[in-house]
Amino acid sequence: MKTSERNMNDAEDKLREINKKTGRNMPQAIATAVVLIAIILACLLTNINLFALLVVIFMALALWELRVDFAVKGYHIPVVTLWITSTVTLCAAFYCANHMLIMSACVLMSLVVAGFMASFNIRINGSAQRAADKKVLQNGQLAKEHPTPRHSQLTHVAVTLFTVLYITLLGSMILIALTLNHHPVAHAIMVVFLPALSDTGGLVFGAWLGKHKLSPRISPKKSYEGLFGSVLFAMIGAFIIFACTYDAALWSTRWWMPVVVGVLIGVVGTFGDLCASMLKRDIGIKDMGHLLKGHGGVLDRVDSILLCAPFMCLVFWLTGM
């Protein structure tokens, strides 16, 4: 009995050590990942339109998370406007014939409309806030109880434009990848699962061998060993996907593609994680949200996918694959 208790205690200690190294609750993270993989594969294998709908939903949730996160620092974005423009842009990028042209036009439209609404909302809210401050002063209360906005109107507009480029533009590239040459399911698997597999490799190698910090100021958990694991796992995943979806004749001229894709995904995905970590550090939060147990928010899960998507589209387009 004592031996059994000792083994259980040892297992709990090891789990706590792994959780500390990875910065995640690993049992929760694994369970959440399994559910996400099942949902994505079910959509892909049932109907590609369901996968497109899933991307639209995830981007809408990501916009909500950014709205909440930016509010911590006093930045305000017109989330309803962004939901509408993002949905229109994503659907147009996937369903319209001239995918890139239509997507570019919709992104430009989104920048103009969202920027205008951000400016309009801040002007209205600013007037209401000044009226409230005036009333507070007339009542002899401290103005600091109702502080005026700390940021200029231009700052709120700039944050809104950043959101359009980060979510709407990069999210559209996930769907653009499905329209290029090869079977859309294969492209979807590469765009979505290779960055996730790369993250897993970084997590495993970082927890196992991580000693040399990649960027301790931005993300203390990232290491060069983790970067190597990210590249290795992405490369192995790329070889498997390419072997299962491309014929032998194409392999003879494209044998180097999995190597390029693996290095690209590993490096760009890690950079995407660092960019998200820098954003969270500037805002002063640990996770973008709490929708996904063990992973934080939707953006914590898709940050590397978003940044990798345009590079993968470029690879598919240049190689005709």
Nearest CA among 193, 166, 226 for reference residue 23: 226
pLDDT (0 to 100) of residue 224: 79
Please tell me whether residue 107 adopts helix, strand or coil conformation.
helix
Q: Which is higher by pLDDT, 214 or 229? A: 229
Query: Counting Cβ atoms within 10 Å, is residue 126 exposed (0-12), middle (13-18) or buried (19+)?
Result: middle
29-43 pLDDT, tens per residue? 677 778 888 898 899
**Number of H helices and number of E strands within the chain?**
12, 2
What pLDDT is recorded for position 8? 53
Identify the top-confidence range among 7-11, 74-78, 87-91, 226-230. Answer: 87-91
Task: Indicate whether 134 pLDDT > 60.
Answer: no
Q: Identify the burial level of 73 via C-beta atoms within 10 angstroms of its C-beta, where 0-12 means exposed, 13-18 middle and 19 or more buried.
A: middle
Q: CA distances (Å), 186 to each of 59, 116, 200, in order?
A: 21, 39, 20
How far apart (Å, rounded) are the C-alpha atoms in residues 247 and 153?
55
Q: Are strands 213-215 and 219-223 parallel, antiparallel or unpaired?
A: antiparallel
Percent helix, strand and coil across the chain, each to the nearest 5: 80, 5, 15
Q: Which two tokens stand for residue 219?
A: 């993300």
| Res. 20 pLDDT band, cuts 50 70 90 | low
DSSP string, 164-230: IIIIIIHHHHHHHGGGSSS-HHHHHHHHHHHHHHHHHHHHHHHHHH--SEEETTTEEEEEHHHHHHH
Q: Report the pLDDT value the prediction gives residue 265, as an integer from 0 to 100.
A: 92
Q: What percent of the chain has pLDDT over 70?
A: 78
Measured CA distances, 135 to 129, 131, 139, 146, 189 (Å): 10, 6, 6, 10, 57
Sole residue written with tokens 């796992």: 233
pLDDT at 4: 57
Structure tokens at 195: 């960055």
At residue 12, the pLDDT reads: 57
pLDDT of residue 313 exceeding 70, the answer is yes
143 pLDDT higher than 50: no
3-class DSSP state of 292? strand
CA neighbor of 302 nearest in space, from 174, 137, 159: 174
| CA distances for 317 relative to 181, 186, 192, 210, angstroms | 8, 14, 17, 36
Spatial separation of the C-alpha atoms in residues 94 and 182, rounded to whole Å: 15
For residue 241, give Cα distances in angstroms to 28, 238, 261.
27, 5, 11
Q: Residue 127: its pLDDT value, please?
A: 47
Tokens standing for residue 69: 């996160």
∠ CA 195-197-199 to the nearest 5 degrees?
70
Residue pLDDT, tens place only, 245-275: 877 777 777 788 889 999 999 899 888 888 8
Q: What is the pLDDT of residue 150?
A: 62
Instruction: Kindly report the pTM of this predicted structure.
Output: 0.81
Per residue in 51-110, pLDDT (tens digit) is 999 999 999 999 998 898 888 888 889 999 999 999 999 999 999 888 899 999 999 999
User: Residues of the chain with pLDDT > 90: what percent?
Assistant: 28
Phi, psi of 264 (to 5 degrees): -60, -50
Give the position of tokens 């990069």.
Answer: 170
| Mean of per-residue pLDDT scores for the chain | 80
pLDDT of 15 reads 52
Rounded mean pLDDT of 207-219?
Answer: 72
CB 187 within 8 A of CB 257: no
Least confident of 72-81, 143-152, 198-207: 143-152
